[in-house]
Amino acid sequence: MEKVTEYFGSMVFDDRIMKATLSEKVYKSLKRTIDRGTPLDISVANAVAAAMKDWAIELGATHYTHWFQPMTGVTAEKHDSFISPAPDGRVIMEFSGKELVKGEPDASSFPSGGLRATFEARGYTAWDPTSYAFIKDGTLYIPTAFCSYTGEALDKKVPLLRSMEALNKQAIRILKLFGNTSVKSVKTSVGPEQEYFLVDRDMWKKRKDLIMTGRTLFGAMPPKGQEMDDHYFGSIKPRVAEYMADLDRELWKLGILAKTKHNEVAPAQHELAPIYDTTNIAADHNQLTMEIMQKVALRHNLVCLLHEKPFAGVNGSGKHNNWSISTDAGENLLSPGETPAENAQFLLFLAAVIKAVDDYQDLLRLSVATAGNDHRLGANEAPPAVISIFLGDELTAVLDAIEADKPYGGTKKEKMQLGVDVLPKFSKDSTDRNRTSPFAFTGNKFEFRMLGSSNSISCANIHLNAAVAEVLKQFADKLEKAKDFNKALHDLIRKTIKDHKRIIFNGNGYDDSWIKEAEKRGLMNLKTTADAMPHICDKKNVDMLTSHGIFTEAEIFSRRDIMLENYVKTVNIEAVTMVDMARKEIIPAVAKFAADTASAVSVKKSVSKAACKYETKLVTELSELIDEMDAATTKLEAAIAKFKGISDIIKASEFVRDTMIPAMDKLRSAADKAETVTAEDYYPFPTYDKLLFGV
């Protein structure tokens, strides 16, 4: 078998290939664009396109596509072949710099939230040279940004790049104040840990809910769930191991640093974590990872479920967004460092993150809000819907000492002085234990744990980068004017801790008492997408996002509408699917079982004097449950009909939250009760025990 070191990245037009196939002049010019964002000359684009094409054709590619991330949450592509007619009636393979740099897909069928009038259907895609092109299934993929013809972002990459740029700009200002004048760029990095479920494809095919919505809309708990804690890190079953090995190989070929794989808490649940990378590359790679996870599963007659809550009663799936900020020289700005000066700089960045998370709780919460993720957040498994930061006891004690102007640890007589004292070493252990916090400091990075497994990581990182950029800006504005830098720094950190310590919570986030405590502290508890999403249009958020050039006001309003539409449409599809399954599958199955049992009673009674107590009781119970299901279905049908008539998106989202979802819960509860008393042979589709333990 081929060695990993040989095939890793073999399908990627990466730095090594660029160096080998481009002239030195072209290579250097492209590198400047990649590293510093300098505009690309068309002659350079032509040379890069020619080299890319030759390389891709050598590896069997016949087509190319601009690959982008519209607001649908999945990626989009439109393939063009390289062929161009030759005078002799044959073809030559062509690919120009213009085709590499810009594409013009018809944008009219992608969500735009009213940004793009239907008469102005054109949109364009623009090459993102910072993310490598790659080959997949015989096509050269070119990562691109997607905009309307008037320049508004129609995707998730444009604002992500803008947010990284905003943070870069403000962080450099801060570093200058600490005497670092050689830094050229500051970038954020992300390592997203991806959770997923695997189910058998033959069983999956029998469940309309899984096919239509990616989750089970019905299903009683099996005798065994996750209570034995025997799945987490458990030994991996052969069929799953084969899948994981195949998946690693496909990801490695695409240069994706898939690193860790293990079983997760719920039965049939697993996790894959890559080595972290620059945020926009991590975002591209995570989209690819999700796509390839699903594709590879089919080869093993499995289906990979990326939904946040495929099964009620066992853990759902999330995506931990490990996030850090570092300089082009490789200095991690969230690492405490070794010297007093490094410590002071670290504390300032730490204070900035604390203030950013507190000031923009709503933006962080709504960046992960979807119909699917609403099933997790606040449901005693994932982090709660309330945002708080875990720092660990040691670091919290340091901040307490600074705030109180007291010595740290009680060993010294003098109070802590920034830039003079050395911080104690924080062991990773003491910062890494709390798994219930939505936003945890883990030694040299923050782990934002609220993302749903199917979310693009872009939205969360756009808002996180933007919020931190804004606070760094406020800090820089203040510190640049200070006469005594060390004193101003000390005062600023102290004041920030004092004003924002309410967001720090080191206890158990799953505990109900925390929610009450959080309320007392004035923290926001935005329970559902309908509650969270409208806050993106709050003045303070619009002002902040527009002032850093991350979104225009029109883009913000359009995004709110797109996300809310996604929410209501998702729930509506689920509701319609439930009605369909209840009317056509579940009620008929239970009714048939009831009828068969009833006719058994009459047969029995005709031959003996048996009382048939058991059967009679069962038929009565089944009949009652059928009536209950029928009534609940009728209610849900009425809700669906009413929903159709609501055109205002805010009202529609509130209706979904207040009426549709409760009606769905009622129907599910009746059907799940019926499942537990219906003979297995009668049940129309595979139940939880088979789905969860059937691989």
User: Which alpha helices (H) appear in 608-687, and where do they start and end?
Assistant: 613-644, 649-655, 661-677
The residues in 273-332 that bind ligand ADP, with binding defined as CB under 6 A, are: 273-276, 322-324, 332
Strand partners, 136: 139
Comparison of 4 and 275: residue with beta carbon closer to ligand ADP: 275
CA 556-558-563 angle, 5° bins: 95
Residues 171 to 210: which contact ligand ADP by CB under 6 A? Answer: 189-191, 193
Task: Give Cα separations from 104 to 66, 130, 150 (angstroms).
Answer: 9, 20, 13
Binding mask 139-178 for ligand ADP (x = CB under 6 A): ----------------------------------------
Binding of ligand ADP by 445 (CB under 6 A)? yes
Nearer to ligand ADP, 276 or 439 (CB): 276
Local structure of 314: helix, strand or coil:
coil
Among 399, 433, 400, which residue's Cα sits nearest to residue 507?
A: 433
- Tell me how far apart the alpha carbons of residues 84 and 220 are, in angstroms, rounded to a whole number: 58
Upper half-sphere CA count for residue 340 (Cβ side, 13 Å): 9
E strands within 91-241? 91-93, 102-103, 123-127, 134-136, 139-148, 186-200
Lay out the site mask for ligand ADP across 378-417 (x = CB under 6 A, - = otherwise): ----------------------------------------
The single residue listed with the structure tokens 């029998």 is 206
Kindly state the tokens that stand for 184: 């050229």
Residue 468 CB, nearest approach to ligand ADP (Å): 14
CA neighbor of 616 nearest in space, from 634, 638, 599, 601: 601
Q: Which CB, 215 or 319, lies closer to ligand ADP?
A: 319
Closest by alpha carbon to 36, among 126, 130, 100, 125? Answer: 130
Binding mask 419-438 for ligand ADP (x = CB under 6 A): -------------x------
Contact by Cβ (8 Å): 326, 346: no
Nearer to ligand ADP, 93 or 257 (CB): 257
- Distance in Å, CB of 336 to ligand ADP, minimum: 13
CB of 428 to ligand ADP, least distance (A): 8
Residues 249-278 that bind ligand ADP (CB under 6 A): 273-276
CA 543/CA 534 separation, integer angstroms: 15
The answer to whether residues 305 and 197 touch, using CB atoms and an 8 Å cutoff, is yes
Q: Which is nearer to ligand ADP, 432 or 689 (CB)?
A: 432
Q: With contacts defined by CB under 6 A, name the span among 144-152, 440-448, 610-618, 686-694 that binds ligand ADP.
A: 440-448
- Position among 263, 434, 436, 442 found at the interface with ligand ADP (CB under 6 A): 442
Decide: 570 and 370 in contact? Cβ < 8 Å.
Answer: yes
Shortest separation between residue 247's beta carbon and ligand ADP, angstroms = 16
- How near is the Cβ of 190 to ligand ADP at its closest, in Å? 6
Closest separation between CB of residue 432 and ligand ADP, Å? 6
Q: Which of 449, 476, 495 is nearest to 355 (CA)?
A: 495
Measured from the CB atom, the residue of 273 and 467 that comes closer to ligand ADP is 273
Report in angstroms how near the CB of residue 277 gets to ligand ADP at its nearest. 8
- Which listed residue (444, 465, 558, 678) binds ligand ADP by CB under 6 A? 444
When the beta carbons of 189 and 388 are compared against ligand ADP, the nearer one is: 189
Which CB sits closer to ligand ADP, 216 or 506? 506
Asked if 232 and 265 touch (Cβ cutoff 8 Å), the reply is yes
Listed residue (523, 527, 519, 524) closest to 658, CA to CA: 527
Q: How far is the CB of 303 from ligand ADP (least distance, A)?
A: 25
Residues found near ligand ADP in the complex (CB under 6 A): 189-191, 193, 273-276, 322-324, 332, 432, 442, 444-445
